Amino acid sequence: ELKQEIIRTLTADNPHIPRDIVRFSFKERAYKLVDDMDHTAIHFTLNGYLVHKDSDEGRRQSIRSSIEAGSFIEEAPVETSAEATEEGEAKDEEPTEDAEEEGERAEEAEAAEAAEAAEEAGAAEEEEPPPVKAPEKKLPNQFNFIERSSTTYHYPLREKGLQTDPAPFETFSDNVNQWYIYDAYMEELERQQRAKEKEKTKPAAVKKEDMKTGRKLSYVEPPHVESLSKVAKAAKIAERMVNLNMFDDIAQDFKYFEDASDEFRGQEGTLLPLWKFQYEKTKKLAVTAISWNPKYKDLFAVGYGSYDFMKQGHGMLLLYTLKNPSFPEYSFSSESGIMCLDFHSDHSHLLAVGFYDGNVAIYNLKKASSQPSYKSSAKSGKHTEPVWQVKWQKDDMDNNSNFFSVSSDGRIVSWTLVKNELVHMDVIKLSADGTTMQGPEGLQLLGSGTSFDFHKKIDHLFLVGTEEGKIYKCSKSYSSQFLDVFEAHHMSVDSISWNPFHMKVFISCSSDWTVKIWDHTIKTPMFVYDLRTAVGDVAWSPYSSTVFAAVTIDGQAHVFDLNINKLEPLCTQLVVTRKKNKTTHIQFNPVYPVILVGDEQGLITCLKLSPNLRKKPK
Cα 21–Cα 22–Cα 23 angle in degrees, nearest 5: 125
Q: Is the pLDDT of residue 602 over 80?
A: yes
Q: 418-432, 442-456, 536-550: lowest mean pLDDT where?
A: 442-456
R_g over Cα of the chain: 42
Cα 459–Cα 462–Cα 468 angle in degrees, nearest 5: 170
Q: Is the pLDDT of residue 435 over 70?
A: no
Q: Is the pLDDT of residue 379 over 60?
A: yes
- Three-state DSSP at 338 gives strand
* Whole-number Å distance between alpha carbons of 477 and 479: 6
Q: Please indicate, yes or no, if residue 216 is contained in any of the structural domains.
A: no
CATH of the domain at 275: 2.130.10.10
Q: Please indicate, yes or no, if residue 286 is contained in any of the structural domains.
A: yes
- Domain span holding position 555: 264-432+445-613
Domain count, the chain: 1
Q: What is the pLDDT of residues 479-501, one digit of tens each?
A: 666 778 888 888 888 889 888 88
Terminal C-alpha separation, the chain: 27
Q: Please indicate, yes or no, if residue 19 is contained in any of the structural domains.
A: no
592-616 burial, b for 16+ CB within 10 Å, e for fewer?
bbbbbbbbbbbbbbbbbbbebbbbe
Q: Which amino acid is at 35?
A: D
CB 309 within 8 A of CB 336: no
Quick one: what percent of the chain has pLDDT higher than 70? 74
- Three-state DSSP at 398 gives coil
pLDDT of residue 208: 44
- Three-state DSSP at 282 gives helix
Q: What is the mean pLDDT of residues 31-52?
A: 85
Q: Is the pLDDT of residue 441 over 50?
A: no
Burial of 577 from C-beta contacts in 10 A (0-12 / 13-18 / 19+): exposed
What one-character DSSP code corresponds to residue 312? -
Q: What is the pLDDT of residues 44-101, one digit of tens each?
A: 888 888 888 888 988 998 898 888 887 655 444 444 444 444 444 444 444 444 545 5
Q: What is the mean pLDDT of residues 300-321?
A: 87
Strand 527-530 to 514-519 pairing: antiparallel
* Whole-number Å distance between alpha carbons of 529 and 512: 11
Q: Which long-range contacts (CB under 8 A, 24 or more apart) does 346-351 make?
A: 346/395, 347/401, 348/293, 348/294, 348/295, 348/296, 350/392, 350/401, 351/291, 351/301, 351/317
- Residue 470: how many CB atoms within 10 A of its CB? 19
Strand 583-588 to 571-574 pairing: unpaired
- Three-state DSSP at 545 gives coil
- Three-state DSSP at 195 gives helix
Q: Please indicate, yes or no, if residue 282 is contained in any of the structural domains.
A: yes
pTM for the predicted model, two decimal places: 0.61
CB 548 within 8 A of CB 560: yes
Beginning with the edge strand found earlier in the chain, give each strand of the sheet holding 547-552 in spatial order.
535-540, 547-552, 556-561, 571-574
pLDDT of residue 464: 86
213 versus 595: the higher-pLDDT residue is 595
pLDDT of residue 538: 92
Q: Please indicate, yes or no, if residue 548 is contained in any of the structural domains.
A: yes
Q: Is the pLDDT of residue 443 over 50?
A: no
pLDDT of residue 30: 92
Burial of 33 from C-beta contacts in 10 A (0-12 / 13-18 / 19+): exposed
Residues 6+ apart with CB under 8 A from 500: 456, 540, 542, 545
Quick one: what percent of the chain has pLDDT higher than 90? 7
Q: Please indicate, yes or no, if residue 392 is contained in any of the structural domains.
A: yes
Residues 6+ apart with CB under 8 A from 363: 317, 332, 350, 351, 353, 372, 373
pLDDT of residue 431: 59
Q: Is the pLDDT of residue 302 over 60?
A: yes
215 versus 286: the higher-pLDDT residue is 286
Beginning with the edge strand found earlier in the chain, give each strand of the sheet holding 470-475 in spatial order.
449-454, 461-466, 470-475, 484-487
Q: Please indicate, yes or no, if residue 165 is contained in any of the structural domains.
A: no
Residues 6+ apart with CB under 8 A from 349: 364, 365, 366
Q: Please indicate, yes or no, if residue 157 is contained in any of the structural domains.
A: no
Q: What is the pLDDT of residues 193-231, one digit of tens each?
A: 888 888 777 655 444 444 444 444 444 444 455 667 778
Strand 421-429 to 411-418 pairing: antiparallel
- Three-state DSSP at 231 gives helix
Q: 83-97, 445-459, 568-582: lowest mean pLDDT where?
A: 83-97
What one-character DSSP code corresponds to residue 565? B
